[in-house]
Structure 1
Amino acid sequence: MPEPAFSRRTTLRGIGAAGLLAALTGCGVPAAYVAENRRGGPDRSDRERTLNFSNWPLYIDIDDKDEERRPTLEAFTERTGVEVRYSEEINDNDEFFGKVSPALMNHQDTGHDIVVVSDWMAARFVHLGWAQTLDRARQPNVAAHLDPQLRAPAFDRGRLHTVPWQSGITGIAYNRKALGREIKSVRDLWHPDLAGKVTLFSGLDESFALLMQGNGVDVTRWTESDFHRMCDQVESMVKKRHIRRFTGNDYTSDLSKGDVLACQAYSGDAIQLKADNPDIEFVVPEEGAELWAESMLVPNLARHKANAEALIDHYYAPEVAAELAAAVNYVCPVPAAREVLARSEDKETAALAENPLIFPDEQMRARLAVARDISSAERRSLAARWNAIVGL
């Protein structure tokens, strides 16, 4: 698994992005909203056998002997004749949104045919009408194999505009040996023996769902009162210096060095952390944990929509999904890939099929929920409240 150098679910910095979205949406009516019949454009897929695919760094399979080669992309080109121009230009959800939003606001092509963003950011594209509707007739693998638990997020019912690239779980990682006990609940983070040894994610969208779940909230339909109750609790812990700090993906360093004993964590990181230190455990709390995704979408006026739809469907063939899952170790959005990995002659690869952080079992799935996204009307005030606590 590639070493996680930063969070792929990057934090909101201040309320700059919220302010931009508010400016776009006005009084709840998107000023830059693009109607369904204006989202397409002349599709050049038939005569231009190419497409532009933008993703996060370290988020795809690479050849062991040549890091410039990406076997699953090469397989797609060999099968279809479509050349993929692959770039790792997405380092921050808000930064990328700021980069492409001027073109989208002005109904111009962004130069991207597929982009991968966190679902909370994908929600903005969908709400603004900036993501094209995908033709499921061109995507039989997606229709057949997409994880049922990821099929109907609140922001995109039916996944008509987005398709998960990879998924993951926000839970709790801790050093069981150093702590001397198990952590089973979000409430366990507030135990006195963890004073000054806990970190939480600084990003609003990354952190809020798990903390609400600790209070017994159904995060598929949380309310602002649920949010403020959670903030009151976290603010109290900050003032008591119980929470050491708020982090991005640098939490992995804190936990590895022993500066913290427990923290909010991502399941994909936990696999690497445990490989490096067997005393590190990852837990899906008794109250539940957030199941999230980072999704592919086709921006408005993309020039190669049909090619993009074909590539998205390529990654939902179980054999291809298995190859990608083995490389990146996040929750695979194609459960059928589990059987492919289980048949591998390589013991380490076959063992991945039994890893519940890549293929959650039914017991774990029962505790996972896809959180309702923060609406544009809510974002400014909620981000201000949360960022004030982070800055204490």
Structure 2
Amino acid sequence: MTTNNSHEEIQSTLKDIVSAKVSRRGVFAGIGGLSAAALLASCGSGGSSGGENGALRWGNWPLYLDFDEKTKKYPTLEAFSKKFGIETKYFEDYNDNDEFFGKVQAQLKLKKDIGYDVVTPTDWMAARWIRLGYTQKFDSANIPNASNILDTLASPSYDPKREQTLTWQGIMGGFGWNTAKNPKGVRTLEDLFSPQNKGKIVVLSEMRDTIGIILQAQGVDITKVTEDQFMNAVDFMAGKISDGWIRGVKGNEYAEDLTSGDATAVIGWSGDMFILASENEGKFDFTIPESGGTISGDNFVIPYTATAEAKKNAEKMINYYY
């Protein structure tokens, strides 16, 4: 999305994006990212074979698992493989929920191998996988540690008995920034759109986070959003793009923009930002906006295309991490 398009073109494109990702009528209700229980108020590609014939293949988000820069390996995953004798292949192939789903949907419809035995969609997308019949129910005997799940996460509306999903990591949506360019921090929408950040702001393509944060900054209770309020937030975002403030609407790629210096402030996710801060000696920081942020979870899901052996190995891995 470029900044030299007309405001009307950008506005139309954004409305198409938002409509595809979030229904207006149900805007943020029960999506696992912005319902009343999920609101923080004011404070690559997979492998080609798996199961019996290959390694356990896990598709996940970038910056989401411990990584040793010296060995270029994932210590906890290496420890799992050593303990159970299960070869694993780890793919940081998630950039955006819709993007990843679009990549595997055709194979799922055909009941063909999708290249992964475990995937990690966000709550609302996990709900879609379940609704479409693309998941397998866990064998609870293989995951006794599932009892360790937090009470607040134990019974989501889309999987009330946690039979097909288990939370991998919680996610907070808020503001991230380059501390040298924003020495006073970014705590409000006005801070985000400060002059030093013009043309160097990236916002998430996950509209539940981006539009949710904008709505709250506009004083909207996002558990009771009207269509007019929702589209006002979309119009606000479209205006910031056409006026040259926002350089990109992206998934996890925004982390690359921050590290390269192409972006100085973002609407981003806590996990990414905390890792960027730890790896770059405090060059970056993150906070929940004063007006409120978002919270949701990414979940272990076993596709129904995984073989019986792969499913059993996946359950061992899930239990190991729990």
What TM-score results when the alignment is normalised by the length of structure 2? 0.66
What residue number does 2:316 align with?
310
Output aligned runs, 1:1-392, within 5 Å: 18=20, 52-56=56-60, 59-62=64-67, 66-67=71-72, 70-81=74-85, 83-88=86-91, 90-92=93-95, 93-94=97-98, 96-108=100-112, 110=114, 112-144=116-148, 146-179=149-182, 181-190=184-193, 195-205=198-208, 207-219=210-222, 222=225, 224-252=227-255, 254-255=257-258, 260-275=263-278, 276=280, 278=282, 280-304=284-308, 305-316=311-322
SS state at 1:164 partner: strand
1:164 is aligned with what amino acid? T
Q: CA RMSD in A?
A: 3.9
SS state at 1:159 partner: coil
Q: 1:238 to 1:106 in 2, by over 3 A?
A: closer
1:88 CA drift (Å): 1.7
1:130 CA drift (Å): 1.1
SS state at 2:173 partner: strand
In structure 2, distance between residues paired with 1:223 and 1:51: 48
SS state at 2:231 partner: helix
In structure 1, distance between residues paired with 2:84 and 2:260: 47
Structure 2: which 5+ runs fail to align?
Answer: 1-13, 22-50
Identity of aligned residues (%): 35
SS state at 1:117 partner: coil
Alpha-carbon contact 2:167-2:298 (below 8 Å) kept: yes
SS state at 1:181 partner: coil
State the Cα deviation string for residues 176-234 of structure 1 (Å, max 9, x = none). 55445343223543456755453323443552332233234444565544421211222
Alpha-carbon contact 1:270-1:281 (below 8 Å) kept: yes
In structure 2, distance between residues paired with 1:258 and 1:63: 24
How many residues are aligned here? 274
SS state at 2:87 partner: strand
SS state at 1:236 partner: helix
Alpha-carbon contact 1:55-1:90 (below 8 Å) kept: yes
Q: 1:53 to 1:225 in 2, by over 3 A?
A: farther
In structure 2, distance between residues paired with 1:137 and 1:262: 46
State the Cα deviation string for residues 315-337 of structure 1 (Å, max 9, x = none). 11xxxxxxxxxxxxxxxxxxxxx
Q: 1:277 to 1:265 in 2, by over 3 A?
A: farther
What residue number does 1:342 align with?
none
State the Cα deviation string for residues 285-323 of structure 1 (Å, max 9, x = none). 12222223332211115323333222211111xxxxxxx
Alpha-carbon contact 1:185-1:214 (below 8 Å) kept: yes
Alpha-carbon contact 1:131-1:300 (below 8 Å) kept: yes
In structure 1, distance between residues paired with 2:139 and 2:315: 7
In structure 2, distance between residues paired with 1:280 and 1:112: 33
SS state at 1:171 partner: strand
Q: 1:171 to 1:137 in 2, by over 3 A?
A: same
